[in-house]
């Protein structure tokens, strides 16, 4: 499994508008590409010196090829909308992770 992690710091002045757009439109559009089978939205619990609020969205793909298909076919258009709507009020960086193992607590 490949995790495509997008970490975004969003300015307080557009926070509510951005979070609504992310939850009701953007994540659904990314999943609708068929390149990912699930997404997880998390709030980063570290206070940033620059202010704003930081979130992590983790999209799970079955393979590196599916992630590459997303980059080649869908990413430019989907990223453009966020830039158009929120511009310099949003700072994003992306990380690719390969899941090697998952471990569970069997005592629960």
36 within 8 A of 61, measured Cβ to Cβ: yes
Domain count, the chain: 1
Residue 5 tokens read as 């992690």
Cα 94 versus chain centre, distance: 8
Helix (H) or strand (E) holding 27: helix 27-32
33-77: pLDDT as tens digits: 999 999 999 999 988 787 899 999 999 999 999 999 999 999 999
Please report, for the domain that includes residue 76, its CATH number. 3.30.70.100
Q: Is 51 within the bounds of a domain?
A: yes
The residue range of the domain holding 79 is 2-98
| Residue with more model confidence, 49 or 100 | 100
- Of the candidates 59, 63, 65, the one whose C-alpha atom is nearest the C-alpha of residue 94 is 59
Q: Is 18 within the bounds of a domain?
A: yes
**What predicted TM-score, i.e. pTM, was given to this entire model?**
0.91
Q: Is 103 within the bounds of a domain?
A: no
Q: Is 106 within the bounds of a domain?
A: no
| Confidence category of residue 106, pLDDT binned at 50, 70, 90 | confident
DSSP 14: G
């Amino acid at each position: 499994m490949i995790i495509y992690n997008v970490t975004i710091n969003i300015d307080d002045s557009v926070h509510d508008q951005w979070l609504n757009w992310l939850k009701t439109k953007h994540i659904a559009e990314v999943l609708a590409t068929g390149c990912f089978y699930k997404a997880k939205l998390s709030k980063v619990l570290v206070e940033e010196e620059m202010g704003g609020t930081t979130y992590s969205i983790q999209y799970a793909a079955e393979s590196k090829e599916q992630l590459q298909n997303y980059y080649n076919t869908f990413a430019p258009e989907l990223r453009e909308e966020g830039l158009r709507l929120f511009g310099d009020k949003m700072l994003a960086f992306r990380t690719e992770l390969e899941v090697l193992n998952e471990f569970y607590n069997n005592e629960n």
